[in-house]
Amino acid sequence: MVDTFNEAAHRAASDAEHIAWVDEQDNLLGSLVRSDLRERGLIGRGTYIMLFNSAGELCVHQRTFSKAIYPGFWDVAAGGMVLATETYAESAARELEEELGVSGVELTAHDHFFFEDTGNRLWCSAFSAVWDGPLILQPEEVLQARFIPIEQVMQEIEQKPYCPDSLAALKRYLSARGGDVAKDL
C-alpha cells in the first residue's frame, strides 16, 4: 500500500510534466505543464494500451484516489498523457512499463480519435499488446489490477465507475473487430 505522502509527491511531479499541446486537428502547438493544460481546457495527447493475455482476457486496473482525473475509477487501458518530446508510440511504451511493469512487448496501433469530457480534451491513440507475465503495479497510480474476460468488463462498466476515455478506446477497438478480441491475438 502506498502512503499518502508518496502519492501526493507523485501527483505534484505529474502535474508539472511538460505535455504535448495540440489544436483541434492534432497539430503540435508546443508544450505546457499538465496542470496548466487541464485548467485552461486546452487539448493534449493521450495514449491507451489495452493489455490482453493470450486467453483474450483484458487487464483492468483501479486508479489511485490521488489522480487528478477519474480518481479511484477502474480503467480498461494503461496509458497517459504524451510528453512534449514523445511520439504516441513512445508514450504508449513508457506508460505500459510505468503503470503495469510490462516492457519489451509488441504494441499494435489501432485507432486515433478525439475525446472530450469535463476537464479532459485529448487526441487519443489506442494500442494493444499481449502479455502473460507478471504485472508490477506502480503504487502511486494503480491500486489493483487483474485480467478478466471482455464479457465481464462489459458487465462491470454498468456497475462500477470506469474511465470514460479508455472506455471510448475499448468500444472503438471492439467495434472495429466486430467484438472479436481474438482476431488480433
Name the grid cell of 61. Answer: 486496473
Q: What is the CA radius of gyration of the chain?
A: 16
CA distance 50 to 158: 19
Of 81, 82, 67, the closest CA to residue 143 belongs to 67
Largest CA distance in the chain: 45
b vs e for 107-126, b when ≥16 Cβ sit within 10 Å of the residue's Cβ?
A: beebbeeebeeeebbbbbbb
Of 41, 90, 67, the closest CA to residue 166 belongs to 67
Q: Is 90 annotated as a binding residue?
A: no
Q: Is 17 annotated as a binding residue?
A: no
Beta partners for residue 50, in sequence order: 128
Going by the annotation, the residues of the binding site for Mg(2+) are 95, 99
Going by the annotation, the residues of the binding site are 95, 99
